[in-house]
Chains A and B, each alone.
Chain A
Amino acid sequence: MEPVIFEERKTQIHRKGAEPFSISCNKSSLAGAVSQRACVFCGSRVVLYPIADALHLVHGPIGCAVYTWDIRGALSSGPELHRLSFSTDLREKDVIFGGEKKLYQALVELIDRHQPNAAFVYSTCIVGIIGDDLKAVCKKVQAEKGIPVIPVQSEGFKGNKREGYLAACEAMFQLVGTGDTSDISPLSVNILGDFNLAGEIWIIQDYLKRMGVDVVANITGDGRVADVRRAHGAALNLVQCSGATMDLAKMLKEKYGIPFIRVSYFGIEDMSDALYDVAKFFEDKDPGIMTRTQELVREELMALYPKLQTFRKDLEGKKAAIYVGGAFKAFSLIKSFRHLGMNVVMVGSQTGTEEDYQELAEITDEGTIIVDDTNPLELSAFIKEKDVDIFVGGVKERPIAFKLGVGFCDHNHERKEALEGFLGMYNFAREVHATVTSPVWNFTPRRRKSPIAAGSPGEVCAS
């Protein structure tokens, strides 16, 4: 069955094997499409908000602050100022006369009360239109209060989340280079693109510690302003998550000459590769590091493998569909599913690049559907066509999967289990097992006809 799709969207869908590789992406969503995408502000907000001892003030009408109030589950081991919602709550008269005065008052009041180590001020669509001079207000408050007050140029209409990531990176880069780096170990890294969902960054920090590597700054999960300020003192940047912090890594490389490596902490291969890459990088400074890393990986895998095998028994041959924000995560997921004996039959992302999709096409099996910026109708058509057993996505996709009678794993910001690291692979396998083998699917029409189906009085239905 061919799914219903927009004529204009046909180039954003590729079926591996059916045609030579070609996909168009990074296009603005079509007006009228039920897109799963978000805006610039959303991108900036999700990247910066885990910095827990900073003040995050949303300059705009109330909605933008409400919809981003503590929704990501980015955990902090200390301060939790980031979990509150601060908004200038712009009203009609502010839109007419400007909101600068209000912004100034709000900043002064909040900084006086909460004594944050820095403040981020997010601009929203409306601020871009009415022309408030965010920079000038921030500069003034910074001079008065003596803490960095940083404007984040995140007007929603200026693009999608990718532009928001860039604005966030530019904002953080203003902090970098202002802290003391004299006591930083030569074996040190910054962790970029990890938001400490369900405590994941603590797992990674533990591995690095066991290898003898110090972490200078978490960017941004369990993040602290002082750490970001001295991030330029690290020897290496580890960059996870395709779009979110890559721009910052590039800025750090250009200005401070810090090399970066792209890593993923999801799945066995990618997690091990990440640690080995770090070990390789520091091998000339610390010849023992590779052995320690090998030991660490061996230890973790010895514990993990037997557990995975028990899940694999039930999961062998089951089919998975993936739709995530950034394509980078999809690579790890495909490999993780292979460890469980499962096949990925559809994979897509909101913000992938052409290279991302090319790589996806290379590592997936024949017939796999590869899709950019999809919508619920397409998703449900693909899920049914491929008769999948599990869908991996975010909040908006979950009920679609369930309505179809298909298992679901939230690999987005609403996940409740840590999915990174070797522990995360176990948690992932357990979640996949829980949902794929759930008895609930036996009650759903996809697998079984109900004996109380309407219109069949007294008839015994075959299962």
Chain B
Amino acid sequence: MTLLRHTPLEIKDRKALSINPAKTCQPVGAMYAALGIHGCLPHSHGSQGCCAYHRSALTRHYKEPVSAATSSFTEGSSVFGGQANLLQAINNIFTVYEPDVIAVHTTCLSETIGDDVPQIADKARQDGKIPEGKFVVSASTPSYVGSHVTGFANMVMGTLKGFAEKTGKKNGKVNLIPGFVEPSDMEEIKRLAAAMGVKTILFPDTSGVLNGPLTGEYKMFPDGGTTVDELRSTGDSIGTLALGEWASADGAKYLDSTHKVPCKILDLPIGLKATDRFIDALRLISGRHVTDLITHERGQLVDMISDMHQYFYHKKVALVGDPDQVIALTEFLTSIDMCPVHIVTGTPGKKFEARIKEITKDSPFPVNIKSRGDMFLLHQWIKNDPVDLLIGNTYCKYIARDEDIPLIRHGFPIIDRVGHQYFPTVGYKGGLRLLEKILDALLTRIDRDASEDCFELAY
């Protein structure tokens, strides 16, 4: 008996129904982005269940405490509006928890009843409920539009809207919007920029917030995160690099159009080619040279690909995750001669399908691509055309088990393994880690399946 015995081979178009989703709702992405602001308490303007779910989801993934407040809507607030709740919440939060910033995101409930959060925040300011030097920023994140990635992008933009200033005096820094990636990835992006001598403002920055050490103290506001001063200064930067179009482009475009900070939108720097483009963009925008250290790391990645390339050749892969991640991964896999054949994201966006089609156009195999897809569809595709490797979040383990396919966990959420908090997959070092995982999965499978007479010691 298999767990997903309910998945039939025959594929029918589904319009009214999502089965085993490959996305979640906007507010959790907004909460994650807000945690990348130093001293910020995310606030969920809706029922208290939403907030509890998002905190649990983030806690399961990061194994870290996640604090966020809620407007605790009742039947009354859903009839008369949530203004009173939010005003009371702002007052309570600044009185008791004393954050520097409250980042309010909406929910399907508060959106539908029509609460105007910026206007409520203004009223709080006028009523003197926001202490001197403290801030409330907000984003509109209805759960019935887009996905968690959309929510992340909206909160990034909402925060920049709330803080970015143009003083007319350039700060000599580059804004980096890292996308919906792990704290470890954010750390690595900063390291690469610093290795080139580029001064940066990275936002959001959840490193030091969601991968912190055990200190013996519970800190509601850990040491990490982009500071208010840095966020203000983003309007004076020499340029912005947005990594990942879905998660980062909106914020970068806002700074470009409003504060004339020129932006370039890149893929997530996953794999050789995308990291090359990122390093090159850093070079051009900052006028700095690519340093020996970076050339050295790049060389190591190429070295490992060459050492092991025969094991990658024409291996079929099924991929599911967020658009920015999946696009970059597809390019990386294709560039090392692997063949992504079933590619799904839950997040809507026609551009996704076009982009993947372009990357996989020379594939020796037919390629299935779907945005706004789900894992039920992915499973059906795999049943019809089996793969050698599956890459996706923890929920893929049902498919991996039923179809007996090796699984590499990548994306959000990963709730049954650790490591994503600490080891990046971006940059050349991240590429090495991905290759290590891919090879481990493929070679362990060869070892497992080899008959005794074919069992090899060395690869």
Contacts and interface: CB of A to CB of B under 8 A. Distances in A.
Given A31-B86, A85-B19, A156 B47 contact: yes
Interface string B63-89: 111111111111101100000011011
B78 A129 contact: yes
B21 A62 contact: yes
A157 B216 CA distance: 36
Contact of B78 (A34, A42, A90, A157): A157
Interface in A23-47: 28-42
Contacts, number: 247
A157 B73 contact: yes
A380 B65 CA distance: 11
Contact of B15 (A41, A105, A125): A105
Interface in A96-126: 101-106, 109-110, 113-114, 124-126
B142 A404 contact: no
Nearest to A440: B214
Interface in B37-60: 41, 43, 46-57, 59-60
Given A89-B18, A105-B17, A125-B107, A114 B52 contact: no
B97 A156 contact: no
Contact of A30 (B52, B72, B214, B395): B72
A251 B56 CA distance: 33
B144 interface: yes
Contacts of B72: 28-31, 33, 35
A395 B415 CA distance: 11
A121 to B, nearest CB: 12
A170 interface: no
B384 interface: no
A462 B217 CA distance: 20
Given A42-B52, A125-B107, A126-B112, A34 B67 contact: yes
B144 A445 contact: no
B160 interface: no
Q: Of B5, B51, B113, which is in contact with the most chain A CB atoms at under 10 Å from its CB?
A: B51
A113 B52 contact: no
A39 B50 contact: yes
Nearest to B25: A63
A61 interface: yes
A67 B24 contact: yes
Contact of B144 (A90, A101, A109): A90
Contacts of B28: 63
Interface residues of A, number: 78
Given A61-B25, A62-B21, A90-B144, A404 B53 contact: no
Q: Of A68, A89, A128, A129, which is in contact with the most chain B CB atoms at under 10 Å from its CB?
A: A89
A220 interface: no
A446 to B, nearest CB: 5
Interface in A308-364: none
Contact of A88 (B16, B214, B218): B16
B143 A39 contact: no
A32 B78 contact: no
A157 B115 CA distance: 15
B90 interface: yes
B144 A95 contact: yes
B194 interface: no
Interface in B1-33: 3-6, 8, 14-21, 23-25, 27-28
Contacts of B50: 39, 63, 156
B93 interface: yes
Given A32-B90, A38-B49, A128-B78, A84 B4 contact: yes
B144 A92 contact: yes
A157 B112 contact: no
B92 A33 contact: yes
Contact of B75 (A68, A157, A396, A404): A157
B110 to A, nearest CB: 9
Contacts of B317: none
Given A36-B52, A102-B16, A106-B16, A400 B88 contact: no
B218 A30 contact: no
Interface in B239-273: none
Nearest to B148: A63
Given A32-B89, A66-B24, A67-B24, A130 B97 contact: no
B377 to A, nearest CB: 13
A90 B53 CA distance: 18
A94 interface: yes
A124 B216 CA distance: 40
Given A87-B21, A403-B215, A396 B53 contact: no
B89 A35 contact: no
Contact of B91 (A32, A38, A83): A32
B109 A399 contact: no
A82 B28 CA distance: 24
B378 interface: no
Ranked nearest first, the 9 interchain pairs of A and B with the lowest CB-CB distance are A39-B49, A63-B25, A32-B89, A445-B216, A32-B92, A380-B218, A105-B16, A89-B18, A67-B53
25 contacts: A29-B72, A31-B71, A31-B86, A32-B90, A35-B48, A37-B52, A62-B18, A64-B25, A65-B18, A66-B23, A80-B3, A80-B6, A87-B17, A92-B142, A95-B108, A103-B16, A104-B16, A126-B144, A156-B73, A399-B64, A402-B214, A403-B64, A403-B65, A404-B216, A405-B216
